[in-house]
Amino acid sequence: MTTIGVPREVKNRESRVGLTPDAVGILVADGHRVLVERGAGIGSDFADTEYASMGAEIVDVDSVFDGADLVVKVKEPQPAEVARLKPSQMIFTFLHLAGEPDLAAALLQRGVTAIAYETVTTPDGRLPLLAPMSAIAGRLAAQIAAHLMESPSGGRGKLMGGIPGVERTSVTIIGAGVVGTNAAYAAVGLGADVTVLDIQPAALERIEAATGGRVRTLVSGPRVLDRCLSTADVVVGAASIPGARAPVILRRSHLELLPTGAIFVDLAIDQGGSAETSRVTSHDAPTYVDGGTVHYCVPNVPALVPRTATIALANATLAYVRMVAGRGIVALMEGGPVASGLNLFQGEVMNATVAEALRTPVDGHN
């Protein structure tokens, strides 16, 4: 039996929760003990009584961290949470350590075993735990941009879809992965004039198919990028490398090409950001203006829709949580998708991409 702890998220305005009541019920049926912090699910509209009815023990935060063998969260542990972790524990959550060297150092010092949702990879290269949150973030990017485009928000005062006789908002999306595809899908749905850039023609073919050919796709290059930026009202940064720091694609000189009041939504900010002008913001203070461009750089965008996001995340993670809870370290050491999620093991870096980003050696036994 494994004792699984589900704490309440403490990151700014983070209302998601690591497990749904239904997921808890399955884990309890597997023979595990589940400790849920009091109020952990409130932000996602899950009451303590729902968790209790599925067999969870509702406890305080100290009991969660003191009693858990495996801590299941949503976002990276905050300093107060890191201080509660013990060397014997495993934590399974989004970590994004390549963009968080201080967090990585703190977790290494604590000696915990850390499994990152974002690096769990299937044999065909899919990222099954990252994908649902990427899809939600991408779709929300269009809504966020539409709101920020309104003049009270500091935008250019344009309607995304325009109206007959008035031009539509021009949206440029950099990156045609899951985030970019969903951002394009949502922006097209709002009626925007959408261009997607990527260096991979195959990715552009997929996004054209996904949107029914309603977007303009271009293979990215310096001249193409400059031309698109010069007419863009909205830019969405959606390029990333699994487990690694996001590539810095936009220099200050690029953003100077944008019209004053343009919107930049950086969805790669949780991996360090895709522009040299990017810095982390929060849901309490989501934007700042740099060089005349409104920057939105919130790292936990799916927290805006916690009910949808929590259910989607738990649907994806449950099979892997069951695997880790049922087999422990063995599941991490015998290969397979869950092993690819292993970032840290008892004070050692185990993921080569994370090690490269942190400029630290990877454990030779990985």
> DSSP string covering 204-239, please?
HHHHHHHTTT-SEEEE--HHHHHHHHTT-SEEEE--
Same domain, 102 and 162: no
Reported confidence tier of residue 363, pLDDT bands at 50, 70, 90: low
Mean pLDDT value of segment 75-84:
98
CATH number of the domain to which 94 belongs: 3.40.50.720
Host domain of residue 317:
3-127+305-358
Same domain assignment for residues 41 and 119: yes
Tell whether 143 and 288 lie within a shared domain: yes
Q: What average pLDDT does this structure show over 270-289?
A: 96
Is the whole-model pTM more than 0.85?
yes
State pLDDT tens for residues 35-51: 999 999 999 999 999 99
pLDDT beyond 80 at 362: no
198-246 pLDDT, tens per residue? Answer: 999 999 999 999 899 999 999 999 999 999 999 999 999 999 988 889 9
Whether 295 is catalytic is no
For residue 8, is pLDDT > 70?
yes
29-33, 69-73, 76-80, 121-125: least confident range: 121-125
Angle between helices 178-189 and 201-210 (to 10 degrees): 40
Residue among 32, 96, 254, 295 flagged as catalytic: 96
pLDDT (0 to 100) of residue 244: 87
Residue after which a domain boundary falls, among 257, 284, 299: 299
Distance, CA of 152 to CA of 173 (rounded, Å): 24
